[in-house]
Structure 1
Amino acid sequence: MKLGAILLTMAVVGATAAPAVAICGASSQDIEIGYRQMYNLDFATAHKTFATYENAHPDDPLAHVSNAAAYLFGEFDRMHVLEIELFADNSHFEKREKVAPDPATRDAFEHELAVADGISMRRLAKSANDAEALFAQILANGLRGDYEALIEKKNLASLTYMKASRGKAEQLLSLDPHCYDAYLAVGVENYLLGINPAPVRWVLRMTGAQTDKADGIQKLQLTAEKGDYLAPFARLLLAVAAVREKDPVRAKELLSGLAQEFPQNHLYAAQLARIH
């Protein structure tokens, strides 16, 4: 497998006030603000935002899984993991170095996911169609896939989490097709696996994976245009796709918008400067 289960929630994240939004059965202005703080790489403030929400809403798994995202992507930023060239070139991705994570950050990341898992499973035991719990599981599997692919270099383990995330997304979308953030999980799997050569795609499909690149782009576009928490991340993935497809105009358009919206995120501006 080439790119593994990368980037499901990678975009990390602009701290401006936003109106409360209804996302997959939930409505939280605080969570929205926390994600924007992550997209602006203000991880310390995002942790505080999510912790405050956790204390006020102990039965909501989304704050915990979002706090886990802040730990993981803060670590990615520290280690300079998220470079667009890495994901735009398979050979670069395959030759990436295995990085040593900070043990304390890793423990905090795993703790937040464990708490989120416990809350989600309790809620799903009461109602198998709990949209908030399903959405939290989509994100949790995506984060675990990111960790396995980008830190542990365990692409097969990452694939397992990718498929689990997509499966939960399909379950949620069957209940609520307007949960546009959930389309990201379907789009990531289809696009990232769909760019592999035909023999590899055949093997991946034998494992139950989905490899329709065109469908992946379509699903990413849905999240980019209509999503909430994950819309900026979907735009980043579309920029990666544009670079791969030798479409610098589209890549610049997407990255310019992200750089303007999240001026503290050096990743967007740096990658924009490298596109010719």
Structure 2
Amino acid sequence: MTGGLALLLVAQAALWPEMDPLVQKGYDHFYNLEYPEAIATFQKAVEAAPLDPNRRNHLAQAVLFSLMFRAGALETEMVTGGNPFLRRPKMEPTPAEETLFENALNECSRLSQALLAENPDDTNALYAQGVALGLRGTYNYLVKKEWLDSLRDMTAGRKLHNRVYELDPTNIDALMMQGMHDYVVGSLPFAYKVLGFLAGFHGDRQQGIRTVQIVAEKGKYNRVDAEILLGIAARRERRPGDAVQICEKLRSEFPRNFLVLFELSQMYADLGDKDNAWSALDRVEELKKSNAPGFQSLPVERIEFARGNLLFWYDDPDAAIVHLRKATRRAQALDPNSGVTAWLRLGQCLDLKGRRAEARAAYRSAIQYWPASDEAKSARKYLDKVFTTNEKRAMSG
């Protein structure tokens, strides 16, 4: 599923009117990982209704998720066990991407404020302004690494959506940001929670999940985002059975989204169901070979990495090495997260087989691939220290 901590931060932006075919088409591309097509379609939607602030948010959201997808940040692997995403190097947009994102949000703010000047209780304008703040806050953190500004924006966005719900209690979609905000702040380490307290919110993970569940059941426009967030939370909180059900549902809704099948494999692996975990990867490979829509551009190395990583966790380092060698043969085709992890896993598997010289070469490749990553930090440690079975058991928790 399109998951990750970043998704927790911005899973409130999909307000797409059912009667607008351009916006619907844009989000069909969006949820199927076709971000260039989504961006182009949302640009057309903006041109068709230039005074609608929501359309500027749709465009900004597509740009932001395109950046996250390119960085390999849209996977729940990023939010399991601690908060590794909080330590990720910042993303690097192109100047054109940065300009497109900033212009879209600035114009959304201008249009919303003009509507609010005429009617301070305009719920559509309040909602659009809140989404824009949430997107800007996420961008400030992921791209600029400005945590305080990010928290300030997100908190302001939540307050605006609280106001929307006060004015219109039938607007269940307005609860999405509240639930998301409660869950994120409640999931952060203590030092970050202090910042949340200073901003006026303690955060409550369980309350956040209950709120998001309401949106998933009764929401009109944010239902899909609520389901995605529930799936992320289920995996993070080690409820893979719940996550499998959500993944299966999303798979039927968005058949061109290959990440859903990768996530499904990981969820089955978490359940201890190796056969179904492997079958999900077989399905990805079948769709890739048949040139199924959405799978043509998927690098075969990504499938090999997933197979190797699965076999690593299932204590089969010999078989894992075969797949990880294939994955790293053209590691530049992988996203940064998958690429650096593939090299690290290869080194660890080689260490488990006593092939120390080869393991150290793989660790050096991991460091070179993404020097600032946590995986590179681990690789530096294992240059001087053999990775052992006991350490692997400790990783499994």
Same fold (TM over 0.5): yes
Computing the radius of gyration from Cα coordinates, the structure with the larger value is 2
Q: 1:32 to 1:173 in 2, by over 3 A?
A: farther
2:172 is aligned to 180
Match of 2:67 among 66, 75, 81: 75
**Which TM-score applies when normalising by structure 1?**
0.86
In 1: Cα distance, 2:218 partner to 2:207 partner: 16
Deviation, structure 1 residue 82? 1.7
Identity of aligned residues (%): 34
1:229 is aligned to 221
In 2: Cα distance, 1:78 partner to 1:10 partner: 21
Structure with the larger RCO, 1 or 2 (CA within 8 Å, 6+ apart): 1
In 1: Cα distance, 2:28 partner to 2:219 partner: 13
In 2: Cα distance, 1:270 partner to 1:156 partner: 34
SS of the residue corresponding to residue 90 of structure 1 reads: coil
In 2: Cα distance, 1:4 partner to 1:44 partner: 19
Give the RMSD, CA atoms, in angstroms: 2.5
Higher relative helix content = 2
Q: Which amino acid aligns with 2:58?
A: S
Say if 1:149 and 1:158, in contact at 8 Å, map to a contact too: yes
Deviation, structure 1 residue 7? 2.7
Q: Bigger shift: 51-60 or 160-169?
A: 51-60
Q: Which amino acid aligns with 1:32?
A: Q
Q: Bigger shift: 236-245 or 111-120?
A: 236-245
- Cα deviation, 1:245-270, whole Å, max 9, x if unaligned, reads 21110011112211221122222221
1:247 is aligned to 239
Match of 1:147 among 118, 123, 139: 139
Deviation, structure 1 residue 200? 5.8
Say if 1:32 and 1:229, in contact at 8 Å, map to a contact too: no
Say if 1:139 and 1:165, in contact at 8 Å, map to a contact too: yes
Q: Bigger shift: 182-191 or 154-163?
A: 154-163
Deviation, structure 1 residue 118? 0.7
Q: Which amino acid aligns with 1:9?
A: A
Say if 2:115 and 2:122, in contact at 8 Å, map to a contact too: yes
In 2: Cα distance, 1:94 partner to 1:199 partner: 12
* Structure 1: gaps spanning 5 or more residues: 13-17, 22-26
In 2: Cα distance, 1:248 partner to 1:239 partner: 9
Deviation, structure 1 residue 135? 1.5
Q: 1:53 to 1:71 in 2, by over 3 A?
A: same
Deviation, structure 1 residue 273? 1.2
Deviation, structure 1 residue 157? 1.9
Q: 1:77 to 1:4 in 2, by over 3 A?
A: closer
Q: Which amino acid aligns with 2:40?
A: K
How many pairs are equivalent?
263
Deviation, structure 1 residue 235? 1.1
Deviation, structure 1 residue 210? 4.1
- Cα deviation, 1:9-38, whole Å, max 9, x if unaligned, reads 3898xxxxx9x63xxxxx644323322321
1:90 is aligned to 82
Match of 1:170 among 152, 162, 170: 162
